[in-house]
Amino acid sequence: MSRLIVVSNRVSVPQAMGAAGAQGGLAVALSAALREHRGIWFGWSGKETESFTGHLDMQRNQDVTTATIDLEPQDIEEYYNGYANRTLWPLFHYRIDLTEYDRNFGEGYERVNARFADSVLPLIEPDDLVWVHDYHLLPLGSMLREKGVTNRMGLFLHIPWPPTRLFVSLPNHEQLVASMLQYDLIGLQTEEWLDSFTHYLKKEMGLKVSDDGVIEYEGRRIVARAFPIGIDYEEFVASARTELAQGAYQRLKDSLGHGRKMLIGVDRLDYSKGLGERFDSFDRFLTDNPEMAKDVVLLQIAPPSRGEVASYQLIRHDLERKAGHINGAHADVAWVPIRYVNRGYPRAELAGFYRAADIGLVTPLRDGMNLVAKEYVAAQDSEDPGVLILSRFAGAAPQMEDAVLVNPHSTEDVSDAIRQALHMPLPERRRRHERLLASVRDEDVVRWRENFVGALRGEHGAEVPLDAR
């Protein structure tokens, strides 16, 4: 079996059940995938060094070998805080209003991708499969090709691909996409993002793309397909059964008081998650349903993320103001409507919190997938499950149509959904949950990894005609 060389910006192996932290979906999904594969996970250490040395820090942790490099302050500023999180992230989440275009960011992005290429090169052996992740590293494959790497290389993008009309606002968009076409396989989360990507290839580059995603480019064939990511279902369910989870469940239930219902939101503090709109919707629900108001609480867990980027500082500030305002307007001596918590929790505790919640409120304005929706479903008690309210604009929505699907921009829509969920009869809750659970269980991270790696190996025959180099 070929080894896997996984490359992503962030390398963070979660500790066995229990570690805290604001891990995004990528870290959680990848460490689960790598644990079962020999191989190496390469990326940035998250640390700063005065001047770049290229020194590789190799470690073995929870059965995963990691190799990391430190970056210079200017690298971090231009590549991570700059091009990745001030340019690509907002643009790919349809937030052209927040997108900053700055040549220094573009240069820093190229420079750091070149540093990644130089540093990972000595780790790559002839039969290895190279699997690159996410928007931080789109041109990495082409840089490795320039250095003579002929291995099969795949890219998986964890975030949406924007519509062509937005994407063309990116200076050098042609160059960026051309560099991506040096991979053999390009994976996106959903058919919708895949459609946007192939639309660009056809309309802007005049390329031929077959119905099964084979792109012809400069005499080579590249495959683009949707591989919706899932959660590590077995691990999550096991962690939900631990004492830690049970203790978290009980503590939270006891704190609510008798008969009070709870809604839960768990999101990195990011403008794409629709947290302001969510608070506004809950405010509307409290105003429109005064008879139910004091019987519900919204627990919003939102660990800070990307705090050096102004738009993230702004949203943090806005949410604090909004939560304070809503609580001030509605609270009573023995009841506060929003519990707003800015920290990470061990996964088992999180599972306990999800289980204690009657409603999972997952309302991103745009999201590549959204694993929280899947974790919420996996954590429920099948006999008495809670209701998932899910944004139509999450990549998870097409797989989770038995959730109550909402338009997160409409406070009326979300407020109605909260009301509907609170009144939903047990048989309907069970029916919806059973179907949601089946898809979360079957389309898990193991299947995602097997499908992607299988396709990269060319295991599916004519479906993925990867060319020899």
Amino acid (one-letter) located at 2: S
Segment 168 to 227, residues that bind ligand ADP, using CB under 6 A:
none
Choose which of 6, 11, 28, 194 interacts with ligand ADP (CB under 6 A).
28
Per CB under 6 A, which region of 24-32, 160-168, 380-388, 407-415 contacts ligand ADP? 24-32
Closest CB 24 distance from ligand G6P, rounded Å: 2
If one asks whether residue 375 binds ligand ADP (CB under 6 A), the answer comes out as yes
| Three-class DSSP labels, 413-453 | HHHHHHHHHHHCCHHHHHHHHHHHHHHHHHCCHHHHHHHHH
Question: What residues form DSSP beta bridges with 132?
Answer: 7, 155
Smaller CB separation from ligand G6P, 306 or 432: 306
Binding footprint of ligand ADP, residue count (CB under 6 A): 17
Nearest of 3, 159, 141, 156 to residue 67 by alpha carbon: 3
**CA quadruple 55, 60, 66, 70: dihedral sign:** negative
Residues forming the active site = 158, 367
Reported as type and span, the H/E element at residue 63 is none
Evaluate whether 3 touches 128 at the Cβ level (below 8 Å). yes
Residue 375 binds which one of ligand G6P, ligand ADP, none, with CB within 5 to 8 A depending on kind? Answer: ligand ADP
Choose which of 5, 7, 11, 26 interacts with ligand G6P (CB under 6 A).
26
Closest CB 344 distance from ligand ADP, rounded Å: 4
Nearest of 132, 121, 11 to residue 68 by alpha carbon: 11
Looking only at the bridges linking them, the beta strands covering 208-209 and 214-217 are: antiparallel
Evaluate whether 277 touches 411 at the Cβ level (below 8 Å). yes
d(CA 263, CA 359): 5
Torsion, Cα of 7, 10, 13, 19 (10° steps): -160
If one asks whether residue 387 binds ligand G6P (CB under 6 A), the answer comes out as no
If one asks whether residue 24 binds ligand ADP (CB under 6 A), the answer comes out as yes
Residue nearest to ligand ADP (CB): 25
Residue 350 binds which one of ligand ADP, ligand G6P, none, with CB within 5 to 8 A depending on kind? Answer: ligand ADP
Choose which of 91, 159, 379, 389 interacts with ligand G6P (CB under 6 A).
159
If one asks whether residue 370 binds ligand ADP (CB under 6 A), the answer comes out as yes
d(CA 225, CA 198): 10
CA 294 to chain centre: 33
Segment 308 to 337, residues that bind ligand ADP, using CB under 6 A:
none
Residue ranges binding ligand G6P (CB under 6 A): 10, 24-26, 134, 158-159, 305-306
Residue ranges binding ligand ADP (CB under 6 A): 22-25, 28, 266, 268, 301, 303, 344-345, 350, 369-372, 375
